[in-house]
Chain A
Amino acid sequence: MNTNNNVYTVIYTTVIVVVAAAILSVAAMALKPMQQANIKAETISQMLMAAGLTDTDALSRMSNDQILSMYSEKARAAFIIDAAGQKTGELNTEVSDIELQDNLKLENKNIASGNPSLPVYVFDKDGEEINVIPVYGAGLWGPVWGYIAFNASCTEIVGAYFDHSSETPGLGAKIKDEAWFRDQFKGERVNFSKPDDSFDIVKGGAPAGVKDDSQVDAITGATMTCNGLEAALDTWFKAYMPFLMMKAEAAAAEVCCEDGCQEGCQDCEQTNNETVQEG
């Protein structure tokens, strides 16, 4: 048989490609449930790490099931909010109902169009309430995303965790690999007075002394990744801002009423807000 015949060549390559595609589709379908379970466990472990409930060492020894049960145990509530910060839906914490990275990508588009449904995860850490929100944006080569953990009143960041799909190892990839980078977010605040630019990752380092409470140092050699991450933080913080501010006001009002002030709570709420912002 003449294998150099044109018709033979075309038919041969077509058959080979179709067979290879069929084998790969079957494999992808068969393995998909396990891969999804892995991705889900990873997403949950990133939230747990942001909330400071576990660390990388402990996680590396845990199976997927252990991670899921840890989530069910520590999660107090999980819900969806709209652009105005109002609760529009519940997520089931018992079955570890969470939004995966694909959904974050979708929500990132919805934020731009002004109609997002944003998830909030509430954890219980030694009796303290921790609110975890996701952020998502474009890095240099691909998406970067992460989870930011706030204290009960949403006025202070208590932890953060970042991940990326294809940033350069040794440079942009440090947003995930270097613990110092995510540790600097502890104690920072979202600047409510600048909704469009509520958080800064400062190239060359946040200046000492005049540094305000919503600035962290950027990573040397990873300017594009840091710019992308800052844009992601600004965009998502802006989308969550009505919710965060409502939590902050509610907490301030509560403190004021506990202190037993005589005037209407509205007034002391304002003074409280001022002191919070000065401090």
Chain B
Amino acid sequence: MNEDLKKTLLNPIFKGNPITVLVLGICSSLAVTVQLKGALVMALSVIIVTGISSLIVSLLRNSIPNRVRIIVQLVVVAMMVILVDQVLRAYAYSIDKQLSVYIGLIITNCIVMGRIEAFALGNKPIPSLLDGLANGAGYGMILVIVAFFRELLGSGTLLGFRVLPASYVPNNLVILPPMALILLGCIVWVQRSIQKDLQEK
């Protein structure tokens, strides 16, 4: 049982990463990775939403009428996302403004619904919670890696603090969304060269 839990927790982080392997949640990973701070808050929000939604749906899983299960899941996910948005608006207003619509768009993030459909509906609450948290973390990890390079090369700063010397000319291409896609491609490349079984023939 413990082996299973460990696998549930670690698999989504690397081997079955939602962004690089399942290719879910690309849209928001392009939009919120210009600065590391925004990416960290977004990652944390997604971890909380996927974790708690999975837990709630898993607790309800035997009572949900099968015909309306998607609607019930959507209500749970939407409730969690609005809660996260409200809390951010009260405690981290400037970051909430910077992330703007992307917090609200977590509702439509395929990772959340995907994990609920595929895992939480058929598993006990604790493994579901872990699965949700781990998938959120796998998503967040890629977000943070991309944001690290984009903020470093695009602004010469990290978390707002200047790291590269003032003589460094910021690379404007890195700030634009296409560069996030290129960086994402590089991460997929690195992962597939390490994990040979992911390579298509």
Contacts and interface: CB of A to CB of B under 8 A. Distances in A.
Given A20-B79, A24-B79, A31 B72 contact: no
A24 B83 contact: yes
B90 A9 contact: no
A139 to B, nearest CB: 14
A16 B83 contact: no
A27 B71 CA distance: 22
A241 B132 CA distance: 58
Contacts of B86: 24, 27-28, 31, 35
Contacts of B190: none
A5 B63 CA distance: 12
What bracket does the count of chain B residues touching chain A fall in? 20 to 34
Given A16-B75, A20-B75, A34 B63 contact: no
B63 A3 contact: yes
Contacts, number: 58
A8 B64 CA distance: 10
Contacts of B90: 31, 34-35, 38
A3 B75 contact: no
A42 B100 CA distance: 15
Interface in B50-64: 63-64
Nearest to B97: A42
B101 interface: yes
B83 A12 contact: no
Contacts of A3: 63-66
A215 to B, nearest CB: 29
A193 interface: no
A277 interface: no
Interface in B29-88: 63-68, 71-72, 75-76, 78-79, 82-83, 86-87
A8 B93 CA distance: 42
B79 A38 contact: no
B65 A9 contact: yes
| Chain A interface main SS type | helix
Contact of A60 (B65, B79, B94): B94
Given A31-B90, A38-B90, A4 B67 contact: yes
A198 B18 CA distance: 54
A17 interface: yes
Contacts of A266: none
Contact of A27 (B72, B83, B94): B83
A38 B66 CA distance: 43
A5 B75 CA distance: 20
Contact of A31 (B63, B75, B87): B87
B7 interface: no
Contacts of B78: 20
Given A13-B71, A20-B75, A24-B83, A34 B91 contact: yes
Contacts of B76: 16, 20
A60 B98 CA distance: 13
A53 to B, nearest CB: 19
B6 interface: no
A34 B86 CA distance: 10
B124 interface: no
A12 B71 CA distance: 11
Given A20-B75, A38-B93, A166 B101 contact: yes
B89 interface: yes
Contacts of B72: 12-13, 16
A4 B87 contact: no
Interface string A13-49: 1001100100110011001001100110010000000
A48 to B, nearest CB: 15
27 contacts: A3-B63, A8-B65, A9-B68, A12-B64, A12-B68, A13-B71, A16-B72, A16-B76, A17-B75, A20-B75, A20-B76, A24-B79, A24-B83, A24-B86, A27-B87, A31-B86, A31-B87, A34-B90, A35-B89, A35-B93, A38-B89, A38-B90, A39-B93, A42-B93, A166-B100, A166-B101, A169-B100
Q: Which 3 A-B pairs have the closest CB atoms?
A: A38-B93, A34-B90, A31-B90
Interface of A: 3-5, 8-9, 12-13, 16-17, 20, 23-24, 27-28, 31, 34-35, 38-39, 42, 60, 166, 169
